[in-house]
Amino acid sequence: MLIAEIVSFACAATLLRILLRTKLWFSVVAALLVGNAVTNVLPAGDVAGAGVQYQMLSMGGIDSAQAGGGLAVSAIIGLAGLFILPVCAVPAILGGVRISPGLEHAAILGIVGFFLIVGAGAVLLTTDKPLMKMASGLQRLLNALPKRKKKTKDLGERLVEERNLVRTNLGKRWREAVLLIGGRIGFDYFALLAALRATGAKPNAPLVLLAYAATAVIALFPITPGGLGIVEASLSGLLVLAGVPSGRAIIATLAYRLVTYWMPIIAGGGIYIAFRRRYGPVKFGAAARSTS
């Protein structure tokens, strides 16, 4: 599990480095680990974590528009990869694998979500007007924040320019991007399979894939920091629907979350100390939202 998660993170860091067009490995790795830790420990952690990642990349020597564009495209690609997972299980289902109604609904949700995400991503990557409107609203919001020392200007034009650069770069290296997003999600899924095998269970891989995908979608909604409690309950229940005995499903879920949730938080704390010594303190929470 640990090896699989390290490889998964390496794929994520490499993909972000490609999107940012930078060789500053330390800044990219530190931003990912600390941003992930913030996401997992603070309420509304996805917003706070993204803000911290953006701030750390900027502090680490990456242009602010470049950081924003890279993070946005990375998020779109990541969501598309997540929602395509149920599609990967369709051949096994058509081949006669029995599936419970709960997992069947998860597969349908994933397929619909995939087309919606791909459609939205295509619009943002190919047309200027929606991106300009989003940037205009974001710029007004940022400039309305209290205690903001520097006003944001021309955010729309800068984001469109950065989007075009990212799109050109991604177009040249799309094969690498596909392999890396597949590696990031695939090795994380492999860690779950390893946890199940360690309990002595013999899971049906396509059904576990559906359980994994459904849980990942549930975790997108910030009900608790990092989905703490919600993910454990959802994943163990869905694994039971996938045919895993309940006791082994619970043990495997707890082991999987130890490696994917708790250990990255510890790693994020350690690398933040190194980042702070090199670049200075990072603002978190409300303080981060007032940063230029």
Hunting for tokens 């990349």 — which residue is that?
A: 57
pLDDT digits (tens, 9 = 90+) for 30-64: 999 999 998 888 876 677 888 889 889 989 998 87
pLDDT above 60 (res 291): no
pLDDT digits (tens, 9 = 90+) for 3-20: 999 999 999 999 999 888
201 phi, psi to nearest 5 deg: -75, 155
| Mean pLDDT across the chain | 82
- What global pTM score does this model have? 0.79
Q: Is 285 helix (H, G, I), strand (E, B) or coil?
A: coil
Q: Determine contact, residues 282/276, Cβ cutoff 8 Å.
A: yes
DSSP secondary structure string for all residues of 128-174: SHHHHHHHHHHHHHHHHSTT--S---SHHHHHHHHHHHHHHHHHHTH
CA atoms of 177 and 186, how far apart (whole Å): 14
pLDDT above 70 (res 69): yes
> For the chain, where are the E strands, in sequence order?
none
Question: Cβ atoms within 10 A of the Cβ of 116, count?
Answer: 13
Cβ neighbours for 10, distance < 8 A, ≥ 6 positions apart: none
pLDDT above 60 (res 286): no
Q: Is 52 helix (H, G, I), strand (E, B) or coil?
A: helix
Q: Is 132 helix (H, G, I), strand (E, B) or coil?
A: helix
Q: Determine contact, residues 86/40, Cβ cutoff 8 Å.
A: no
For residues 36, 40, 46 and 49, what is the CA-based torsion angle, rounded to 10 degrees? -40
Give the residue with greater pLDDT, 132 vs 29: 29
